[in-house]
Amino acid sequence: MESLLFPVSNRVRSFQKLDGLWNFKFDPKGVGEKEGWNKGLGGDVIKMPVPASFSDFFTDRESRDYCGDFWYETTLFVPEYLKGKKVCLRFGSVTHRAVVYLNGKEVGGHVGGFLPFNCDISDAAKYGEENILTVKVNNELDETTLPCGNVKTLKDGRKLITPYFDFYNYSGIHRSVYLLGLPETEIEDYDYTVALDGADAKVCVSAYVSGKDEGLEAEVILEDETGKEAGKFLAKQDGKSSFEGTIDIKNAHLWDVLKPYLYTITIKVSKDGEVLDEYKDRIGIRTVRIEGEKLLLNEKPVYLKGYGKHEDFDVIGRGFSYPVAKRDFECMKWSGANCFRTSHYPYAEEWYRFADEEGFLIIDEVPAVGMMRSLMNFVDAGRGKYTSFFETETVPELQKNHLQAVHEMFRRDKNHPSVIAWSLFNEPETISEFAHNYFKVIFDEARKLDVQNRPLTGALEKTSSPEKCQVNELCDFICLNRYYGWYISGGPELQDAKELFIEEMDAWKAKKLNKPFVFTEFGSDTLGYEHRLPSVMWAQEYQDEYYNMNFEVFDKYDFIQGELTWNFADFQTSEGIFRVGGNKKGVFTRNRQPKQAAYILKRRWDSK
């Protein structure tokens, strides 16, 4: 098992961040390996910040929109004291494919641009010396990648990415890179479940350990926020690589929406009294389940209010930034929100740790977006276009990559109390038996992975109607992306849009699914400086009218248990006649200032 635990430093573990200015080089002809770039990029390099997307640093179109192979290089000193430990490089994410070399030797790689991976360099590293680290990256898309897309070759030979989704294909080393020093007997993972009994809680913990040692014992300790011990257990090795035990907590402090309470969990693995490994984290005691048309958090109904988001900001693209994250959480709290969806991919781990501390709820989404052959799927989906996406020879490879991403997302994020549900797709074609068979495999596998049994869902677009969709039965709750009043009957037809919207919701109601419904997208493009009376599309007044119409429809149906608007903030997309400098559906501008509609949301959500 590859450990995806967030790095910590203590008496047996160490880490060093390798963030900073790296060397960078485009490789449009794919000659890097042949010319020995894996051993070092040589001269004529670009200085490139890590972590960050590379596109928005450049002032020329060819560099910004580059598609193909590109390389990073840095040097790292591996201390002598790490000899004898397991020494790894940990990449938070590299978009979309990576091959990693140390001193010219390939030491690992990864396919998938949004989740971490480790490379064991114990044998390849030169201890007490400088080492050359190079990374070959490729950002091309096809119908086996998550997200899906294609590549077009222009007349001058340059490649151009043609995504099947409506956000920019930012690429690069997007998250921090670490040099890890780990013990040979390593805590690779842990998970926990919670059962509530009145004011008390039972916390069952499993810890998974690698290594060849026998006769190990594990101690698991929970401490409250004052540092007082709340409970512990000791487990001895019984022929398995896992240790399991239960801690009973009297008068447990629950982690709740916008009222977070975090316990510190410490896991120690010892032999003959010597601590071989130790890992410390923060967890929340809370339960999540579906009962009929309600989503229950700690056995109480919760109504989801908030946003679909993107990891997207000026200059840094998709690179993680604590200041940006802080501003986003403050804006979301101000607006009365309690939830967001990680559309359309797992975010940097720091987002989840931050949400744990803030009491925000997260629907965690795998990067299964673009599963429809369309460069404007946001329009084509509403018109009922069908592209036979799940009927082609690429499906088995796509499904393999999809399953890998689900495994990695669950393993990385499962211990965050903020994660209350898993989204396994966004807006695929779902009206065929082929789609049902494809996603049944994904859902069946996902149900085996989460010991907390959090609900599974996926976001359905307009073609996935109550009459035609063959995938919604797999979902524990139904997520709808709907744009009545924008892509469907917009502007002067807004009243017709409302009637069409009600017709569809009545059809869903007639199915008597006995499941909660959450709107995971609804919104209208709006220019933050545009005002018109009477209103017109793209003006702020129209965005206000659009939201008020949608809220009138939501409030007619008891089974609607959440509203996550699209989008939190304006974000970058590919160029196109439907987009002026990106998608403008943000409630906030790209630099996180409120549009007029933000006050409508605030008034509604503060009182709901």
Phi, psi dihedral angles at 440 (to 5 degrees): -60, -40
Q: What is the 3-state secondary structure (H, E, C) of 264-306?
A: EEEEEEEECCEEEEEEEEEECCCCEEEECCEEEECCEECCEEE
- Are the C-beta atoms of residues 459 and 520 closer than 8 Å to each other? yes
- Chain-centre distance of CA 569, in angstroms? 17
Phi, psi dihedral angles at 239 (to 5 degrees): 90, -5
Q: What is the pLDDT of residues 321-379, one digit of tens each?
A: 999 999 999 999 999 999 999 999 999 999 999 999 999 999 999 999 999 886 666 56
Over residues 15-43, the mean pLDDT reads 96
CA distance 148 to 164: 6
Using CB atoms within 10 Å of the CB of residue 581, give its burial: 0 to 12 exposed, 13 to 18 middle, 19+ buried.
exposed
Strand pairing category for 69-78 and 129-138: antiparallel
CA distance 179 to 118: 10
Domains belonging to the chain, first-starting first, are 14-182 (2.60.120.260), 187-283 (2.60.40.10), 288-606 (3.20.20.80)
CA distance 166 to 17: 33
CA geometry: angle 449, 426, 593, nearest 5 deg: 110
Residue with tokens 């987002």, as numbered in its chain = 351
pLDDT, position 64? 96
Q: What is the pLDDT of residues 549-562, one digit of tens each?
A: 999 999 999 999 99
Over residues 238-251, the mean pLDDT reads 87
pLDDT, position 2? 81
- Are the C-beta atoms of residues 571 and 517 closer than 8 Å to each other? no
pLDDT > 90 fraction of the chain, expressed in percent and rounded: 92
CA distance 436 to 428: 11
β-sheet bridge partners, residue 187 = 209
Q: What is the pLDDT of residues 536-550, one digit of tens each?
A: 999 999 999 999 999
Band of the pLDDT at 214, cuts 50, 70, 90?
Answer: confident
Band of the pLDDT at 384, cuts 50, 70, 90?
Answer: low
Average pLDDT of the chain is: 95
CA distance 102 to 104: 5
Residue 92: name the closest of 67, 69, 113, 78 by CA. 113
**147 cis-preceded (ω within 30 degrees of 0):** yes
Band of the pLDDT at 383, cuts 50, 70, 90?
Answer: low
Q: Residue 73 corresponds to which tokens in the numbers above?
A: 């290089």
pLDDT, position 366? 98
pLDDT, position 43? 84
Active-site annotation, residues: 427, 521
CA distance 443 to 495: 38
- Chain-centre distance of CA 331, in angstroms? 20
Over residues 479-502, the mean pLDDT reads 96
Q: What is the 3-state secondary structure (H, E, C) of 203-254?
A: EEEEEEECCCCCCCEEEEEEECCCCCEEEEEEEECCCCCEEEEEEEECCCCC
Q: Name the strand (E) or helix (H) holding 234.
A: strand 229-236
Band of the pLDDT at 208, cuts 50, 70, 90?
Answer: very high
Angstrom distances, CA of residue 152 to CA of 84, 157, 159, 415: 48, 10, 6, 41
pLDDT, position 570? 96
Q: Residue 503 corresponds to which tokens in the numbers above?
A: 């017709």
pLDDT, position 608? 83
CA distance 504 to 482: 10
Query: Helix, strand or coil for residue 42?
Result: coil
DSSP state letter for 543: H
Angstrom distances, CA of residue 275 to CA of 41, 150, 174, 207: 42, 51, 35, 15
Residue 382 above 90 pLDDT?
A: no
Strand pairing category for 263-271 and 419-426: unpaired
**What burial letters (b/e) apply to 360-389, b meaning 16+ CB within 10 Å?**
bbbbbbbbbbbbbbbbbbbebbbeeeeeeb
Q: What is the pLDDT of residues 448-488, one digit of tens each?
A: 999 999 999 999 999 999 999 999 999 999 999 999 999 99
pLDDT, position 212? 67
Over residues 139-164, the mean pLDDT reads 95
Over residues 573-601, the mean pLDDT reads 92
Over residues 208-218, the mean pLDDT reads 84
- Are the C-beta atoms of residues 540 and 597 closer than 8 Å to each other? yes
- Are the C-beta atoms of residues 412 and 4 closer than 8 Å to each other? yes
* Alpha helical stretches, state H, 179-226: none
Q: Residue 467 corresponds to which tokens in the numbers above?
A: 């009459």
Residue 270: name the closest of 225, 204, 221, 203 by CA. 221
CA distance 25 to 67: 13
Over residues 290-305, the mean pLDDT reads 98
pLDDT, position 170? 97
Q: What is the pLDDT of residues 71-83, one digit of tens each?
A: 999 999 999 999 9
pLDDT, position 236? 86
Q: Residue 365 corresponds to which tokens in the numbers above?
A: 């989404």
Residue 291 above 90 pLDDT?
A: yes
Q: Residue 486 corresponds to which tokens in the numbers above?
A: 């924008």
Query: Helix, strand or coil for residue 350?
Result: helix
Q: Estimate the crossing angle of helix 395-413 against helix 433-449, to 10 degrees.
A: 30
pLDDT, position 380? 62
Q: What is the pLDDT of residues 186-203, one digit of tens each?
A: 999 999 999 999 999 999
Residue 381 above 80 pLDDT?
A: no
